[in-house]
Structure 1
Amino acid sequence: MTEHVWSYPSTSGHLAGADLTGYRVEATDGSIGKVDKHSDEVDAAYLVVDTGVWIFGKEVLLPAGTVERVDPAEKKIYVSRTKEQIKDAPEFHREKHLADTQYREEIGIYYGIGGPFSGGHRA
């Protein structure tokens, strides 16, 4: 896949600047929660999903590259991973996800989209 893990696929229907907060997130095998926070930043786009009781109130970080489709009419986001894959992802660290490139690389490699993290954070 040539698109970057931290970018929305061009086929997702996501419109830059759209507020996705509160949208329900659907894995390939069912609902996983609602968007708590999101970013449209170029090469750094993501969703933070509050899983509610599904994973005991845990939040998960999903790179924008996992988004298959955004449905504004139903306020739903469909992602290309199973509930189990999302549950088994590296633990979300709210304080690390923006500044720690190693953590973002770990997440990007786990979700395996477009190869290793290359982001815009070069030395």
Structure 2
Amino acid sequence: ADRAILVQTDVETQPLAVAKVLKALVEKEAPGLVILGKQAIDDDCNQTGQMLAALLGWGQGTFASKVVPAGDAVAVTREIDGGLETVELALPAVVTADLRLNEPRYASLPNIMKAKKKPLET
């Protein structure tokens, strides 16, 4: 990413409040795809992504373990009890990510130093 946006608050927020803030941000930034984690650091309710998709009127893919863009759509694969399920969503869309979506990597010192110089909006 070339930049980041940090939304700060001093109050405890519920998933709907977070979804409303994200909706305003999405309307301002106009991304074609919004990718969120399925969990927050302070709870495990998995509601924000679904609420955001509903507020925006966008399609949603949940618990994504694989995301493949394909023109004006995105294929989202997720693990279910019987194996894997793949759904195709028209863009714009909201996707919530399972931890299998990406293998964590470690940043090198030069990249950490470069990241410090990138803009961070608050």
- TM-score, normalised to structure 1's length? 0.28
- Larger fraction in helix: 2
Decide which structure has the larger Cα Rg and report it. 2
- Larger fraction in strand: 2
- TM-score, normalised to structure 2's length? 0.28
